[in-house]
Amino acid sequence: MALLKEKDLVDALTRPGELAQEKGEEIELLLVGGTVMVLVFQARESTRDVDVIVVSPQPARVRELASMVARERGWPDEWLNDAAKAYVVGEPQQTLVLSVPGLIARRPSFEQLLAMKLCAWRDDIDIADARRLLGELNGDRDDIWSRVRQFLQPGRELKARYAFDDLWEETHGAD
């Protein structure tokens, strides 16, 4: 599958909304990962897939609609997936990103998105995304950490703390 650029993402998310609306349904998604970095920040040009948390209707129904879009476009079924849901901790404070007929997509707070990136911390893309998210947050090191840590995935707190400290020192210098 080709990388999804901003226009591709909007088009890709619009189509399941259209299909849902034809059936009298509405999809609500929480966008996370690269999709937010492309749509909200234009921090990178593209992403490989659309990471979401399905709010409504049932995830199986959204996967069914996404599979229909995948068949239409010759994409893999997992172009839209909820694999990142394991990284979502706490109740997300949501901000609207996209509203099209049949679909509403929001994003979590920057603190929650940063917590997810710190817990994943897999590659240069996660690091660049985390750096961008940290740049959106105001406060000193301890203040920002206290706002982020509540969203850390259990069992990954130490990894996230080390990642945060490295990132802070890289961007702000040692305290």
Whether the predicted pLDDT of 48 surpasses 90: no
- Comparing CA positions, the residue from 65, 61, 113 lying closest to residue 92 is 113
Percent of the chain with pLDDT over 90: 77
> Does 14 share its domain with 98?
yes
> Does 121 share its domain with 91?
no
The string of pLDDT tens digits covering residues 83-137 is 888 888 988 889 999 999 999 999 999 999 999 999 999 889 889 999 999 999 9
Instruction: Tally the domains of the chain.
Output: 2
> Does 120 share its domain with 95?
no
The string of pLDDT tens digits covering residues 21-40 is 999 999 999 999 889 999 99
> Does 23 share its domain with 50?
yes
Q: What is the overall mean pLDDT for the chain?
A: 93
> Does 104 share its domain with 121?
no
**DSSP for 22-64, written as a single string:** HTT--EEEEEETHHHHHHTT--SSEESSEEEEEEES-HHHHHH
CA torsion, ordered 129, 131, 132, 137, to nearest 10 deg: 130
Whether the predicted pLDDT of 53 surpasses 80: yes
Q: What is the pLDDT of residue 43?
A: 77
Q: What is the pLDDT of residue 174?
A: 78
**What are the backbone dihedrals phi and psi of residue 101, each rounded to the nearest 5 degrees, phi first?**
-55, 125
Q: What is the pLDDT of residue 25?
A: 97
- The predicted model scores a pTM of 0.91
> Does 90 share its domain with 156?
no
Q: Per-residue confidence at 175, pLDDT binned at 50, 70, 90?
A: low
Of 84, 108, 132, the domain-final residue? 108
> Does 21 share its domain with 96?
yes
- Comparing CA positions, the residue from 82, 74, 106 lying closest to residue 2 is 74
> Does 17 share its domain with 99?
yes
Of 58, 90, 108, the domain-final residue? 108
Q: 153 lies in which domain range? A: 111-172
